[in-house]
Structure 1
Amino acid sequence: MKTIAIIPARGGSKRLPEKNTKLIGNIPLLAHSILYAKQNSAIIDEIYVSTNDDKIKKIALEYGAKVIHRPESLSGDLEPTVTALKHVLEAIEEDVENVILLQATNPLRPENLLKDAFDLYLKGNYDSLFTVSRNHQKFGKIIEGKFVPFNYEIGQRSQDLEPLFFENGLLYITKSQKILNDIIISKNAFPFEINHIFASVDIDTQEDFDYAQYLYKNK
Protein backbone atom coordinates (compact mmCIF):
# COMPACT_ATOMS: atom_id res chain seq x y z
CA MET A 1 0.00 0.00 0.00
CA LYS A 2 1.80 3.11 -1.24
CA THR A 3 1.05 6.49 0.29
CA ILE A 4 2.29 9.72 -1.27
CA ALA A 5 2.13 13.36 -0.23
CA ILE A 6 1.24 15.99 -2.81
CA ILE A 7 1.88 19.69 -2.23
CA PRO A 8 0.28 21.95 -4.86
CA ALA A 9 2.26 25.19 -5.17
CA ARG A 10 1.62 27.21 -8.27
CA GLY A 11 3.23 30.53 -9.07
CA GLY A 12 1.39 33.75 -9.78
CA SER A 13 -0.27 34.53 -6.44
CA LYS A 14 -1.97 37.91 -6.69
CA ARG A 15 -2.85 38.87 -3.11
CA LEU A 16 0.61 37.94 -1.79
CA PRO A 17 3.08 37.77 -4.70
CA GLU A 18 5.54 34.83 -4.63
CA LYS A 19 4.08 33.67 -1.31
CA ASN A 20 5.23 30.06 -1.71
CA THR A 21 8.86 31.16 -1.78
CA LYS A 22 8.69 33.75 1.02
CA LEU A 23 10.69 32.87 4.13
CA ILE A 24 9.26 31.88 7.48
CA GLY A 25 12.13 31.41 9.89
CA ASN A 26 14.64 31.35 7.01
CA ILE A 27 12.72 28.48 5.39
CA PRO A 28 10.60 28.99 2.25
CA LEU A 29 6.88 28.66 2.89
CA LEU A 30 6.65 25.66 0.58
CA ALA A 31 9.52 23.89 2.33
CA HIS A 32 7.70 23.75 5.67
CA SER A 33 5.22 21.25 4.22
CA ILE A 34 8.00 19.27 2.54
CA LEU A 35 9.88 19.01 5.83
CA TYR A 36 6.71 17.96 7.64
CA ALA A 37 6.20 15.19 5.09
CA LYS A 38 9.81 14.05 5.51
CA GLN A 39 9.33 13.91 9.28
CA ASN A 40 6.53 11.43 8.59
CA SER A 41 8.52 9.10 6.35
CA ALA A 42 7.10 6.10 8.22
CA ILE A 43 3.78 6.95 6.55
CA ILE A 44 4.74 8.79 3.37
CA ASP A 45 6.66 6.93 0.66
CA GLU A 46 7.17 9.81 -1.78
CA ILE A 47 6.70 13.59 -1.73
CA TYR A 48 5.57 15.41 -4.86
CA VAL A 49 5.27 19.13 -5.51
CA SER A 50 2.97 20.19 -8.33
CA THR A 51 4.01 23.54 -9.77
CA ASN A 52 4.20 25.67 -12.89
CA ASP A 53 6.96 27.88 -11.46
CA ASP A 54 10.73 27.42 -11.91
CA LYS A 55 11.65 29.08 -8.60
CA ILE A 56 9.24 26.85 -6.70
CA LYS A 57 10.59 23.82 -8.58
CA LYS A 58 14.14 24.66 -7.50
CA ILE A 59 13.13 24.97 -3.84
CA ALA A 60 11.19 21.71 -3.95
CA LEU A 61 14.19 19.84 -5.35
CA GLU A 62 16.56 21.43 -2.84
CA TYR A 63 14.41 20.17 0.03
CA GLY A 64 14.12 16.66 -1.33
CA ALA A 65 10.74 16.54 -3.03
CA LYS A 66 10.00 15.29 -6.52
CA VAL A 67 8.51 17.80 -8.94
CA ILE A 68 5.64 17.37 -11.37
CA HIS A 69 5.36 20.23 -13.83
CA ARG A 70 1.82 21.53 -13.84
CA PRO A 71 0.63 22.89 -17.20
CA GLU A 72 -0.70 26.45 -17.30
CA SER A 73 -4.11 25.08 -18.21
CA LEU A 74 -4.28 23.63 -14.68
CA SER A 75 -2.70 26.62 -12.92
CA GLY A 76 -5.37 29.30 -13.07
CA ASP A 77 -6.90 31.13 -10.10
CA LEU A 78 -10.18 29.27 -10.46
CA GLU A 79 -8.72 25.80 -11.00
CA PRO A 80 -9.75 23.41 -8.18
CA THR A 81 -7.02 21.69 -6.16
CA VAL A 82 -8.23 18.24 -7.15
CA THR A 83 -7.11 18.73 -10.76
CA ALA A 84 -3.51 19.23 -9.61
CA LEU A 85 -3.68 16.07 -7.49
CA LYS A 86 -5.22 14.08 -10.32
CA HIS A 87 -2.55 15.36 -12.73
CA VAL A 88 0.19 14.10 -10.40
CA LEU A 89 -1.36 10.64 -10.12
CA GLU A 90 -1.71 10.40 -13.88
CA ALA A 91 1.83 11.65 -14.45
CA ILE A 92 3.66 9.26 -12.12
CA GLU A 93 1.73 6.16 -13.24
CA GLU A 94 2.45 4.33 -9.99
CA ASP A 95 0.23 2.10 -7.88
CA VAL A 96 -0.79 4.59 -5.19
CA GLU A 97 -3.33 3.72 -2.52
CA ASN A 98 -3.51 6.93 -0.46
CA VAL A 99 -2.84 10.58 -1.16
CA ILE A 100 -2.00 13.04 1.60
CA LEU A 101 -2.66 16.62 0.57
CA LEU A 102 -0.47 19.16 2.35
CA GLN A 103 -1.29 22.72 1.39
CA ALA A 104 1.73 25.02 1.27
CA THR A 105 -0.41 27.82 2.69
CA ASN A 106 -0.78 25.86 5.95
CA PRO A 107 2.90 25.64 6.95
CA LEU A 108 2.43 24.99 10.68
CA ARG A 109 1.04 21.67 11.89
CA PRO A 110 1.08 19.89 15.27
CA GLU A 111 3.87 17.31 15.33
CA ASN A 112 1.71 14.20 15.78
CA LEU A 113 -1.23 15.32 13.65
CA LEU A 114 -0.53 13.12 10.64
CA LYS A 115 0.28 10.02 12.69
CA ASP A 116 -2.91 10.31 14.74
CA ALA A 117 -5.07 11.10 11.71
CA PHE A 118 -3.59 8.35 9.54
CA ASP A 119 -4.02 5.73 12.27
CA LEU A 120 -7.68 6.64 12.55
CA TYR A 121 -8.07 6.71 8.76
CA LEU A 122 -6.77 3.15 8.49
CA LYS A 123 -8.61 1.75 11.50
CA GLY A 124 -11.91 3.26 10.38
CA ASN A 125 -11.43 2.07 6.80
CA TYR A 126 -12.40 5.53 5.52
CA ASP A 127 -11.92 6.61 1.92
CA SER A 128 -11.09 10.17 2.99
CA LEU A 129 -10.36 12.25 6.07
CA PHE A 130 -9.96 15.98 6.59
CA THR A 131 -9.22 18.21 9.56
CA VAL A 132 -11.76 20.53 11.16
CA SER A 133 -11.75 22.91 14.12
CA ARG A 134 -14.45 24.20 16.46
CA ASN A 135 -15.65 27.75 15.87
CA HIS A 136 -16.95 29.75 18.84
CA GLN A 137 -18.06 32.89 17.01
CA LYS A 138 -21.56 34.27 16.76
CA PHE A 139 -22.55 34.42 13.10
CA GLY A 140 -25.37 36.27 11.40
CA LYS A 141 -26.60 37.72 8.13
CA ILE A 142 -27.38 41.32 7.22
CA ILE A 143 -30.79 41.43 5.57
CA GLU A 144 -32.29 44.76 4.47
CA GLY A 145 -29.94 46.64 6.77
CA LYS A 146 -30.66 44.48 9.83
CA PHE A 147 -28.48 41.88 11.51
CA VAL A 148 -30.15 38.48 11.70
CA PRO A 149 -28.39 35.94 13.98
CA PHE A 150 -27.56 32.66 12.29
CA ASN A 151 -26.27 30.30 14.98
CA TYR A 152 -27.49 31.96 18.20
CA GLU A 153 -30.12 34.12 19.79
CA ILE A 154 -29.40 37.67 20.94
CA GLY A 155 -28.17 37.52 24.50
CA GLN A 156 -27.11 33.87 24.33
CA ARG A 157 -23.72 33.08 25.86
CA SER A 158 -21.02 31.97 23.43
CA GLN A 159 -20.28 28.88 25.52
CA ASP A 160 -23.89 27.76 24.99
CA LEU A 161 -23.75 27.89 21.18
CA GLU A 162 -24.48 24.78 19.17
CA PRO A 163 -21.07 23.47 18.00
CA LEU A 164 -20.05 24.59 14.52
CA PHE A 165 -16.85 23.51 12.79
CA PHE A 166 -14.74 24.79 9.89
CA GLU A 167 -12.47 23.03 7.43
CA ASN A 168 -9.05 24.29 8.53
CA GLY A 169 -6.92 22.98 5.64
CA LEU A 170 -4.17 21.43 7.78
CA LEU A 171 -4.46 17.93 6.35
CA TYR A 172 -6.40 15.79 3.87
CA ILE A 173 -6.08 12.05 3.30
CA THR A 174 -7.89 10.45 0.36
CA LYS A 175 -7.90 7.19 -1.57
CA SER A 176 -6.25 7.77 -4.92
CA GLN A 177 -9.25 6.34 -6.76
CA LYS A 178 -11.44 9.08 -5.32
CA ILE A 179 -9.05 11.74 -6.60
CA LEU A 180 -9.05 10.15 -10.05
CA ASN A 181 -12.82 10.64 -9.88
CA ASP A 182 -12.33 14.34 -8.98
CA ILE A 183 -13.08 13.96 -5.27
CA ILE A 184 -10.94 14.99 -2.28
CA ILE A 185 -13.58 14.94 0.46
CA SER A 186 -15.99 12.06 -0.06
CA LYS A 187 -19.54 11.88 1.24
CA ASN A 188 -18.48 9.65 4.13
CA ALA A 189 -15.21 11.47 4.84
CA PHE A 190 -14.20 11.50 8.49
CA PRO A 191 -13.92 15.01 10.01
CA PHE A 192 -10.86 14.80 12.25
CA GLU A 193 -11.19 17.46 14.93
CA ILE A 194 -8.04 19.37 15.85
CA ASN A 195 -8.36 22.43 18.04
CA HIS A 196 -4.92 24.02 17.89
CA ILE A 197 -3.69 27.53 17.28
CA PHE A 198 -2.00 26.38 14.05
CA ALA A 199 -5.47 25.67 12.62
CA SER A 200 -5.98 29.43 12.37
CA VAL A 201 -3.12 29.82 9.88
CA ASP A 202 -3.98 29.81 6.18
CA ILE A 203 -1.79 32.21 4.22
CA ASP A 204 -3.40 34.33 1.52
CA THR A 205 -2.44 37.87 2.57
CA GLN A 206 0.52 39.70 4.11
CA GLU A 207 -1.36 39.82 7.42
CA ASP A 208 -1.75 36.03 7.33
CA PHE A 209 1.95 35.67 6.59
CA ASP A 210 2.96 38.00 9.46
CA TYR A 211 0.76 36.00 11.84
CA ALA A 212 2.40 32.75 10.73
CA GLN A 213 5.82 34.32 11.27
CA TYR A 214 4.81 35.30 14.79
CA LEU A 215 3.53 31.81 15.66
CA TYR A 216 6.60 30.14 14.18
CA LYS A 217 8.90 32.26 16.33
CA ASN A 218 6.87 32.00 19.52
CA LYS A 219 5.12 28.61 19.43
Structure 2
Amino acid sequence: MKSKTIAIIPARGNSKRLPGKNTKFLGGIPLLVHSIKYAQKFSFIDDIYVTTDNLEVKNVALQFGAKVIDRPTEISGDFEPTVSALKHVLESISDEVENVVLLQPTNPLRPENLLEEAFQLFSKSNSDSLFTVSRNHDKLGKIINDKFEPFNYTIGQRSQDLEPLFFENGLLYISKANLIKNDVIISDNAFPLEVNHIFAKVDIDTQEDFDYAEYLYNKIINHNS
Protein backbone atom coordinates (compact mmCIF):
# COMPACT_ATOMS: atom_id res chain seq x y z
CA MET A 1 0.00 0.00 0.00
CA LYS A 2 1.31 3.46 -0.96
CA SER A 3 2.10 5.72 1.97
CA LYS A 4 0.05 8.86 1.71
CA THR A 5 0.70 12.55 2.06
CA ILE A 6 -2.31 14.21 3.65
CA ALA A 7 -3.23 17.78 4.47
CA ILE A 8 -4.84 18.55 7.82
CA ILE A 9 -6.70 21.78 8.52
CA PRO A 10 -7.54 22.32 12.21
CA ALA A 11 -10.64 24.52 12.50
CA ARG A 12 -12.33 24.86 15.88
CA GLY A 13 -15.65 26.63 16.26
CA ASN A 14 -15.26 28.59 19.49
CA SER A 15 -12.89 31.45 18.66
CA LYS A 16 -13.02 34.01 21.46
CA ARG A 17 -11.55 37.12 19.81
CA LEU A 18 -13.30 36.71 16.43
CA PRO A 19 -16.38 34.49 16.88
CA GLY A 20 -17.08 32.17 13.95
CA LYS A 21 -13.90 33.23 12.15
CA ASN A 22 -13.30 29.93 10.36
CA THR A 23 -16.62 30.23 8.51
CA LYS A 24 -16.52 34.02 8.11
CA PHE A 25 -16.56 34.94 4.42
CA LEU A 26 -13.34 36.20 2.83
CA GLY A 27 -13.42 36.80 -0.92
CA GLY A 28 -16.82 35.16 -1.26
CA ILE A 29 -15.99 31.87 0.50
CA PRO A 30 -15.59 30.83 4.15
CA LEU A 31 -12.14 31.41 5.61
CA LEU A 32 -11.20 27.74 6.02
CA VAL A 33 -12.12 27.03 2.39
CA HIS A 34 -9.09 29.00 1.20
CA SER A 35 -6.87 26.33 2.78
CA ILE A 36 -9.00 23.50 1.37
CA LYS A 37 -8.82 24.94 -2.14
CA TYR A 38 -5.10 25.55 -1.78
CA ALA A 39 -4.44 21.92 -0.86
CA GLN A 40 -6.62 20.72 -3.74
CA LYS A 41 -4.21 22.31 -6.26
CA PHE A 42 -1.42 19.85 -5.56
CA SER A 43 -1.44 16.30 -6.91
CA PHE A 44 0.88 14.96 -4.19
CA ILE A 45 -1.81 15.65 -1.54
CA ASP A 46 -3.79 12.40 -1.40
CA ASP A 47 -6.47 13.48 1.07
CA ILE A 48 -7.56 16.65 2.85
CA TYR A 49 -8.93 16.42 6.38
CA VAL A 50 -10.57 19.13 8.45
CA THR A 51 -10.55 18.41 12.18
CA THR A 52 -13.26 20.31 14.04
CA ASP A 53 -15.62 20.32 17.01
CA ASN A 54 -18.16 22.49 15.18
CA LEU A 55 -21.11 21.44 13.00
CA GLU A 56 -21.07 24.55 10.80
CA VAL A 57 -17.36 24.08 10.08
CA LYS A 58 -18.00 20.40 9.36
CA ASN A 59 -20.75 21.16 6.86
CA VAL A 60 -18.66 23.78 5.07
CA ALA A 61 -15.67 21.42 4.84
CA LEU A 62 -17.78 18.61 3.40
CA GLN A 63 -19.44 20.99 0.94
CA PHE A 64 -16.06 21.97 -0.47
CA GLY A 65 -14.69 18.46 -0.82
CA ALA A 66 -12.69 17.86 2.36
CA LYS A 67 -13.05 14.89 4.68
CA VAL A 68 -13.95 15.66 8.29
CA ILE A 69 -12.73 14.20 11.56
CA ASP A 70 -14.93 15.09 14.54
CA ARG A 71 -12.64 16.44 17.23
CA PRO A 72 -13.45 15.37 20.81
CA THR A 73 -14.22 18.10 23.33
CA GLU A 74 -11.26 17.15 25.51
CA ILE A 75 -8.80 18.19 22.77
CA SER A 76 -10.76 21.24 21.58
CA GLY A 77 -9.95 23.71 24.36
CA ASP A 78 -8.21 27.07 24.02
CA PHE A 79 -4.96 25.78 25.51
CA GLU A 80 -4.80 22.44 23.71
CA PRO A 81 -1.79 22.26 21.35
CA THR A 82 -2.43 21.83 17.63
CA VAL A 83 -0.45 18.58 17.60
CA SER A 84 -3.22 16.91 19.64
CA ALA A 85 -5.69 17.44 16.81
CA LEU A 86 -3.23 16.22 14.18
CA LYS A 87 -2.42 13.13 16.20
CA HIS A 88 -6.14 12.41 16.64
CA VAL A 89 -6.65 12.54 12.86
CA LEU A 90 -3.86 10.01 12.30
CA GLU A 91 -5.37 7.75 14.97
CA SER A 92 -8.83 8.04 13.38
CA ILE A 93 -7.94 6.91 9.86
CA SER A 94 -6.76 3.54 8.64
CA ASP A 95 -4.50 4.80 5.84
CA GLU A 96 -0.75 4.45 5.97
CA VAL A 97 0.34 8.10 6.21
CA GLU A 98 3.94 9.17 5.64
CA ASN A 99 3.71 12.97 5.53
CA VAL A 100 1.35 15.52 7.05
CA VAL A 101 0.92 19.01 5.64
CA LEU A 102 -0.55 21.37 8.24
CA LEU A 103 -2.49 24.31 6.80
CA GLN A 104 -3.94 26.68 9.36
CA PRO A 105 -7.20 28.34 8.25
CA THR A 106 -6.06 31.56 9.92
CA ASN A 107 -3.37 31.87 7.22
CA PRO A 108 -5.70 31.91 4.20
CA LEU A 109 -3.40 33.68 1.73
CA ARG A 110 -0.34 31.82 0.49
CA PRO A 111 2.02 32.29 -2.47
CA GLU A 112 0.65 30.12 -5.26
CA ASN A 113 3.51 27.62 -5.64
CA LEU A 114 4.81 27.73 -2.07
CA LEU A 115 3.60 24.25 -1.10
CA GLU A 116 5.08 22.65 -4.21
CA GLU A 117 8.44 24.29 -3.55
CA ALA A 118 8.28 23.37 0.14
CA PHE A 119 7.40 19.74 -0.52
CA GLN A 120 10.22 19.31 -3.04
CA LEU A 121 12.71 20.77 -0.56
CA PHE A 122 11.34 18.59 2.22
CA SER A 123 11.54 15.45 0.07
CA LYS A 124 15.18 16.13 -0.82
CA SER A 125 16.27 17.11 2.69
CA ASN A 126 17.24 14.88 5.58
CA SER A 127 14.80 16.73 7.84
CA ASP A 128 11.66 15.13 9.20
CA SER A 129 9.83 18.46 9.29
CA LEU A 130 9.72 21.82 7.52
CA PHE A 131 8.14 25.13 8.45
CA THR A 132 8.02 28.60 6.96
CA VAL A 133 9.75 31.63 8.46
CA SER A 134 10.07 35.30 7.55
CA ARG A 135 12.71 37.92 8.25
CA ASN A 136 11.94 40.38 11.03
CA HIS A 137 13.30 43.89 10.50
CA ASP A 138 12.19 45.38 13.83
CA LYS A 139 14.50 46.75 16.48
CA LEU A 140 13.55 44.53 19.40
CA GLY A 141 14.23 44.89 23.10
CA LYS A 142 13.10 43.99 26.61
CA ILE A 143 11.78 46.23 29.38
CA ILE A 144 13.50 45.37 32.66
CA ASN A 145 12.95 47.47 35.80
CA ASP A 146 11.24 50.15 33.67
CA LYS A 147 14.25 50.40 31.38
CA PHE A 148 14.38 49.42 27.71
CA GLU A 149 17.23 47.06 26.90
CA PRO A 150 17.89 46.48 23.18
CA PHE A 151 17.88 42.80 22.20
CA ASN A 152 19.03 42.63 18.59
CA TYR A 153 20.74 45.99 18.08
CA THR A 154 22.59 48.83 19.74
CA ILE A 155 21.01 52.25 20.12
CA GLY A 156 21.65 54.30 16.99
CA GLN A 157 22.31 51.27 14.76
CA ARG A 158 20.67 51.36 11.33
CA SER A 159 17.83 48.90 10.66
CA GLN A 160 19.56 47.55 7.55
CA ASP A 161 22.59 46.56 9.66
CA LEU A 162 20.66 44.41 12.13
CA GLU A 163 21.62 40.79 12.62
CA PRO A 164 18.96 38.76 10.76
CA LEU A 165 16.20 37.41 12.98
CA PHE A 166 13.27 35.34 11.77
CA PHE A 167 9.74 34.53 12.96
CA GLU A 168 7.54 31.48 12.41
CA ASN A 169 4.88 32.84 10.05
CA GLY A 170 2.42 29.92 10.08
CA LEU A 171 1.95 29.69 6.31
CA LEU A 172 2.55 25.93 6.26
CA TYR A 173 4.21 23.02 8.02
CA ILE A 174 5.21 19.60 6.73
CA SER A 175 6.00 16.78 9.15
CA LYS A 176 6.58 13.06 9.05
CA ALA A 177 3.53 11.28 10.49
CA ASN A 178 5.73 9.38 12.96
CA LEU A 179 6.86 12.70 14.39
CA ILE A 180 3.29 13.81 15.04
CA LYS A 181 2.48 10.49 16.68
CA ASN A 182 5.18 11.46 19.19
CA ASP A 183 3.50 14.84 19.83
CA VAL A 184 5.92 16.91 17.75
CA ILE A 185 5.28 19.12 14.69
CA ILE A 186 8.60 20.96 14.39
CA SER A 187 11.57 18.69 15.07
CA ASP A 188 15.08 19.68 16.14
CA ASN A 189 16.32 19.20 12.58
CA ALA A 190 13.38 21.03 10.96
CA PHE A 191 14.10 22.81 7.67
CA PRO A 192 13.29 26.55 7.98
CA LEU A 193 11.98 27.74 4.60
CA GLU A 194 12.35 31.51 4.31
CA VAL A 195 9.30 33.21 2.77
CA ASN A 196 9.47 36.97 2.53
CA HIS A 197 6.07 37.72 1.04
CA ILE A 198 3.35 40.09 2.17
CA PHE A 199 1.02 37.12 2.75
CA ALA A 200 3.36 35.99 5.55
CA LYS A 201 2.08 38.93 7.60
CA VAL A 202 -1.51 37.60 7.60
CA ASP A 203 -2.51 35.53 10.63
CA ILE A 204 -6.14 36.06 11.59
CA ASP A 205 -7.05 36.30 15.27
CA THR A 206 -8.93 39.60 15.40
CA GLN A 207 -11.29 41.66 13.25
CA GLU A 208 -8.37 43.95 12.39
CA ASP A 209 -6.40 40.93 11.12
CA PHE A 210 -9.41 39.88 9.05
CA ASP A 211 -9.80 43.37 7.59
CA TYR A 212 -6.13 43.37 6.57
CA ALA A 213 -6.52 39.95 4.89
CA GLU A 214 -9.57 41.24 3.05
CA TYR A 215 -7.64 44.32 1.89
CA LEU A 216 -4.78 42.17 0.54
CA TYR A 217 -7.19 39.71 -1.07
CA ASN A 218 -8.97 42.49 -2.96
CA LYS A 219 -5.74 44.32 -3.86
CA ILE A 220 -3.63 41.35 -4.98
CA ILE A 221 -5.75 38.28 -5.71
CA ASN A 222 -8.91 39.92 -7.08
CA HIS A 223 -6.83 42.40 -9.04
CA ASN A 224 -4.84 39.61 -10.72
CA SER A 225 -7.77 37.28 -11.43
TM-score clears 0.5: yes
The letter of the residue matching 1:36 is: Y
The letter of the residue matching 2:170 is: G
- Tell me, in whole angstroms, the C-alpha distance in 2 between the residues paired with 1:144 and 1:182: 38
Q: Deviations over 1:123-159 (max 9, x none)?
A: 1132000000000000011111111101000000000
- Tell me, in whole angstroms, the C-alpha distance in 2 between the residues paired with 1:45 and 1:169: 22
Partner of 2:38: 36
Partner of 1:16: 18
- 1:143-154 matches, within 5 Å, as 143-154=144-155
Alignment: residue pair count: 218
- Tell me, in whole angstroms, the C-alpha distance in 1 between the residues paired with 2:183 and 2:216: 34
Task: Give, in angstroms, the shift of residue 216 of structure 1.
Answer: 0.5
- 1:1-219 matches, within 5 Å, as 1-40=3-42, 42-219=43-220
Task: Give, in angstroms, the shift of residue 119 of structure 1.
Answer: 0.3
Task: Give, in angstroms, the shift of residue 20 of structure 1.
Answer: 0.2
Q: Find the residue that maps to 1:184 and give its secondary structure.
A: coil
Q: Deviations over 1:93-142 (max 9, x none)?
A: 21000000000000000001000010000011320000000000000111
The letter of the residue matching 1:105 is: T
Partner of 2:223: none
- Tell me, in whole angstroms, the C-alpha distance in 1 between the residues paired with 2:219 and 2:16: 28
- Tell me, in whole angstroms, the C-alpha distance in 1 between the residues paired with 2:90 and 2:188: 21
- Tell me, in whole angstroms, the C-alpha distance in 2 between the residues paired with 1:70 and 1:94: 18
Any runs of at least 4 consecutive aligned residues in structure 1 with deviations exceeding 2 A, and if so which?
A: none
Task: Give, in angstroms, the shift of residue 16 of structure 1.
Answer: 0.3
The letter of the residue matching 2:33 is: A
The letter of the residue matching 2:22 is: N
Q: Which runs of 5+ in 2 are unaligned?
A: 221-225
Q: Find the residue that maps to 2:86 and give its secondary structure.
A: helix
The letter of the residue matching 1:171 is: L
Q: Find the residue that maps to 1:121 and give its secondary structure.
A: helix
- Tell me, in whole angstroms, the C-alpha distance in 1 between the residues paired with 2:170 and 2:125: 21
Q: Find the residue that maps to 2:160 and give its secondary structure.
A: helix
TM-score normalised by length of structure 2: 0.96
Q: Which runs of 5+ in 1 are unaligned?
A: none
Q: Find the residue that maps to 1:169 and give its secondary structure.
A: strand
TM-score normalised by length of structure 1: 0.99
Task: Give, in angstroms, the shift of residue 15 of structure 1.
Answer: 0.3
The letter of the residue matching 1:6 is: I
Percent sequence identity over matched residues? 71
Q: Find the residue that maps to 1:97 and give its secondary structure.
A: strand
- Tell me, in whole angstroms, the C-alpha distance in 1 between the residues paired with 2:169 and 2:76: 22
Q: Find the residue that maps to 2:180 and give its secondary structure.
A: helix
Task: Give, in angstroms, the shift of residue 44 of structure 1.
Answer: 0.3
